[in-house]
A and B are shown apart, each in its own frame.
Chain A
Amino acid sequence: MPNTTKYSVETIPGGYPRDRIFNPKSVAVMGVTPTPGTVPYDIFYNILASGYKGVLYPVAPGKRSISAVPAYRYLTDIEDDIDLVVIVFPANVVARALEQCGEKGVKGVIIISAGFREVGPEGEKREEEIKEICAKYDISLVGPNCLGVINTDPKIMLNASFARKMPAEGRIAFLSQSGALCTAVLDYARSRNIGFSKFVSFGNKAGVTEMGLLDYLHQDEQTDVVLLYLEELRDGRALIETARRVTRGDNPKPILAIKSGRTPQGADAASSHTGSLAGEDAICEAVFSEAGIIRTNTIEELFDTAIMLTSQPMPKGDRLAIVTNAGGPGVMATDAAVDVGLTIARFQPETTKKLKASLPAAANMKNPVDVIGDARSDRYEAAVGAVLEDPNVDQALVILTPQSMTDIEQIAHGIVKVRKGTDKPMACSFIGATDVAVGVDILQAAHIPHYIMPEWACGAMADVQRIRRWRELPEEADYQPPQADQKAVAAIINPAPAGYLSEDRALAVLEAYGFPVPAHKLCCDADEAVEFAERNGYPAVLRVVSPQIVHKFDVKGVALDLADADAVRSAYNNMVSHIGEAMPEAEIKGVLVRGMIPGGREVILGAKHDAAFGPTLMFGLGGLFVEIFKDVTFALAPITPAAASRMVRQIKAFKLLEGARGTGQADIAGVEDYLLRLGRLVVDFERIVELDINPLIVGPAGEGSNVADVRIRLSE
C-alpha cells in the first residue's frame, strides 16, 4: 500500500488520494433518490450492479429503502465505519453532507455534484467552503463536478460513477478532468477490447489532483500505464516534479496525455515576440517535454500507444522489420516509420538466407519483406520468425491485405505462435474491416496490438521509442548557477516604473548577468555621439532611446553602418529631427551609440512571467520573422545545463547553428550559457514580465556572441 503520510493533503498541493478511495471496505452514497435514470440513483445502482465486494449504504432521507437495500436518513445514523462516501446531493447542501462525513470520521469522499467553481463566483465560494471542511477533518476529496471513480480489481470491483458500464479489467489507468469524456472513452475502449485498472474523473480538483493521482498510480500494482486528459494545467512545476518521479527510476510507468485547448489565447495582447509566442499551449508542450509525458493529439493515438505499452515488452532499440503481403502498404509503412524517426533494420546475411529458403524467388527478402500476395500462414510464420531472430531487429510490424487466397485466420494464429517464441515487441496491421475481422479478433485475444493502418502502428512504436529514450537519459548532476551581479540589477529595476526599461538600462541589466553586450554609450547631442564613435571605432550604429518608442525601425530610430564622424553627426541630427516631427509626443532621452556587430547567426532568447507557470524561457531562430517561422522552444525557468542543451537542439534551425554549407559551427556552448543566465535573471527578478533578446548574433564556436537588441518590460 502506498505511503499515505509522505504525500498527504498537507504536503502535496491538492493532495494524495487515500487508498480507501479506490479500495474501500464500505461505501455510503449520500443523496440517493429512488428514480432510475437520475445521477443520484444511477451512482448507487452502479456500485450495486458492479459486484462491489464491500458493504454499501444508501443515505436517502425520507426513503425506507433503495433497490431493496435499507436506507438511512443521515450518514451519522449508520453504525459501521465508512471508508468512502460518494456525495450526490445538489451543490447547496454538499457542505452540510461533508460536515457529516467529518463528524463520522470518514477520510475518503467523492463529490459528484456540479455547481462549484465551474459556475462562477457563487460556486467558487462553495468550493472554498468544501476545501475548508476537508482541511478541518483531513478528508481526501475527489471532485467536485466529476463522473466518479472505478476500480476493476476483482478484489474490489467498484464502479462509483455514473458511467453506463463497468469496464473490463486491464493495466491502463485513465485520469480525466472531463467527466463527459470519460463515458465516451469507456465506450470507445470497449470497442477495442481495452480494459482499465483504475478510472478516475477528478473534475474541479478541489482536493486530489493529477499530481496526487499520478503518485498513487505509480505505486499501484494493477497499473502499468497512465493516461491523462487535462483541460487546464494549474501547476506545471509540480506536474514536472511528479511525472519525472513516475516515468523514470526503478519502477518507471509511462504517462500519455491529451491536453485540450491548443488554440493560442491572449497572444494579441502581448507586445513582445516571446509574449506572443509563449501561449499556454506552447508552455504546456514544454512542461510535458520536461516531465517525460508523451502528448498525443487524439484519443485514438492515446490508446494506440497505450495498448502497445501494456501488451508488448519495451524494445531495446528503434530498428523495425516489416513483413507484408502487399508491396504498396509495405512502402507506405516504411515511409511512415522513417517519418516518425524509426530505423528500417538492415538484416544480417543469415536472416536473408533463412528468408530465401522459405519464400518464393519473387519475394522481396530485404526490409520491408514482401511475402507476396498469395502468401499463406507458412510464409508469414517463417518470415516473421526469421526477422525477429535477427539481432539487428528490435521490433516487427506485420501487414496483411485480404486477398482471395489469404487464410486470414490461420495467419493470425501463426503470428500468435511466433509471438510466443520471442521477447521482442510486435504489432500487426490487417488492413481492411470486414474480411480481416476474424484475424483481428484472434490477435487481440492474444494481446497482440492491432492497427487498421500501418502508419498508426508506426506512430505508437515511435511513442514507445520516445519513452525508452527518456528512461535512458542520464540523471542531471547538480550544477552551480552562473555568477551575476544582482545588486547592480536591483539598483536599475527596483526604482523603475512599470513598462519598458530604456535600452541603455536593459543593456546594463544584461551586462550585470554576464551577457555579451557590445560597448555603447547613451549620448545627448551629436558632439557626444561623434566623440564616442571616434573612440569606439567605425562603422557605428545609432539607436534612439525613448520610453514611447518600442519599435525603433518603424520611426527611423536606427541608423546603421555609419563610416565616419560626418555620417554620425548627420544621422544623429536627422534622427532627432525626424522623430520630433513624426512623434512629437515622444520624449527622446538620447541616442545610444555603439559599433556595428559582425555578422553571425541570429537567434532569439526570450522570457515571460506566465501567470500560471511563473518564469518561462523561449529560444529559437531570431530576427524579424520569428513570429512567422515560430521555430521556438520553451522551458520553465530556472533551467539546468541539460535543459538548455535540449532547448537549443529542439529547434529546426539547429542545423544552422551546427554549421551548414561550409558555415562552420556557431558558438552553441555560449548560447546554452546565456539561456542559463537568462533563467537565473528572470527567477531573481519577478518584475521582469517580458524579455526579448532579439537577435543575439551568434559568432563562430569559441568567438562568442553579441546582443544586438533587447527589450525588458517590468510589472508594477
Chain B
Amino acid sequence: MDKSKITERVVKVTCEVLGVTPDMVTPESDFVFDLGAESTQSVQLVAAFDEEFDINMDAEDALEVQTVGDAVEFIEKYVNKK
C-alpha cells in the first residue's frame, strides 16, 4: 500500500475517533496538543488503526507516537511487513 493511501486512511480513522474534521489534521498534528486526544481515545485510536489496516501493532510503542505523520510511518512498517 502506498504512503498516500495510508495517510488518507489514518486521517479518516483519526477524524472518526477524535471527532475532528479533516481540515484540522496535518502530518504535523499532535494527537493530544492539536487534536485533543484524551488518554482513553489514544488507546481507541491504536485499536482502530489495527482494525483499519488489519495489523497488530505493539501497543506500548504505538502509544508513544505523537503526531499523525509519525503514525503514518509507524503503520507503514507494519503494513509493508504483511
Contact = CB atoms under 8 A, between A and B. Distances in A.
Chain A interface SS verdict (over half)? loop
A552 interface: no
Which of B30, B34, B38, B66 has most A Cβ within 10 Å?
B38
Nearest to A32: B36
The bracket for how many chain A residues form the interface is 10 to 19
Nearest to B33: A93
Contacts of A60: 36
29 contacts: A33-B36, A33-B38, A35-B38, A35-B40, A38-B38, A40-B38, A60-B36, A61-B20, A61-B35, A61-B36, A62-B18, A62-B19, A62-B20, A62-B24, A62-B35, A62-B36, A62-B37, A63-B36, A73-B24, A73-B34, A89-B32, A89-B33, A90-B32, A92-B32, A92-B66, A93-B30, A93-B66, A96-B30, A97-B33
Nearest to A71: B36
Interface string A39-82: 01000000000000000000011110000000001000000000
Interface in B3-57: 18-20, 24, 30, 32-40
A90 B39 contact: yes
A97 B30 CA distance: 12
B19 A93 contact: no
A33 B33 CA distance: 12
A62 B40 CA distance: 15
Interface string A9-45: 0000000000000000000000101010010100000
Contacts of B38: 33, 35, 38, 40
A480 to B, nearest CB: 60
Contacts of A73: 24, 34
The bracket for how many chain B residues form the interface is 10 to 19
What 7 A-B pairs have minimum CB-CB distances, sorted nearest first?
A62-B36, A61-B36, A93-B33, A62-B20, A33-B38, A62-B35, A93-B32
Contacts of B37: 62
Which of B24, B30, B33, B37 has most A Cβ within 10 Å?
B33
Nearest to B21: A62
B67 to A, nearest CB: 11
A73 B23 CA distance: 13
Contacts of B32: 31, 61, 89-90, 92-93
Interface in A99-128: none
Given A35-B38, A61-B34, 6 more contacts: A31-B32, A40-B38, A61-B35, A62-B18, A73-B34, A92-B32
Contacts of A61: 20, 32-36
B37 to A, nearest CB: 8
A96 B28 CA distance: 13
A62 B32 CA distance: 10
A31 B19 CA distance: 16
Nearest to B66: A92
A292 B61 CA distance: 52
B36 A96 contact: no
A702 B40 CA distance: 77
Contacts of B39: 90
Contacts of A31: 32
A33 B37 CA distance: 8
A28 to B, nearest CB: 14
Which of A31, A62, A89 has most B Cβ within 10 Å?
A62
A33 B39 CA distance: 10
Contacts of B40: 35
Which of A31, A33, A61, A92 has most B Cβ within 10 Å?
A61
A96 B33 contact: yes
Contacts of A89: 32-33
A91 to B, nearest CB: 10
B71 to A, nearest CB: 15
A38 B35 CA distance: 18
Nearest to B29: A61
Interface string A462-483: 0000000000000000000000
Contacts of A35: 38, 40
A97 B33 CA distance: 8
Contacts of A63: 36
A33 to B, nearest CB: 5
Nearest to B41: A33
Contacts of B30: 93, 96
A623 B7 CA distance: 78
A38 B37 CA distance: 13
Interface string A497-525: 00000000000000000000000000000
A478 B39 CA distance: 59
Contacts of A62: 18-20, 24, 35-37
A31 B32 CA distance: 8
A89 B35 CA distance: 12
A96 B38 CA distance: 17
A92 B37 CA distance: 13
A255 to B, nearest CB: 39
A89 B42 CA distance: 14
B65 to A, nearest CB: 11
Contacts of B19: 62
Contacts of A97: 33
Contacts of B33: 61, 89, 93, 96-97
A63 B34 CA distance: 11
A90 B37 CA distance: 10
Contacts of B36: 33, 60-63
A33 B35 CA distance: 11
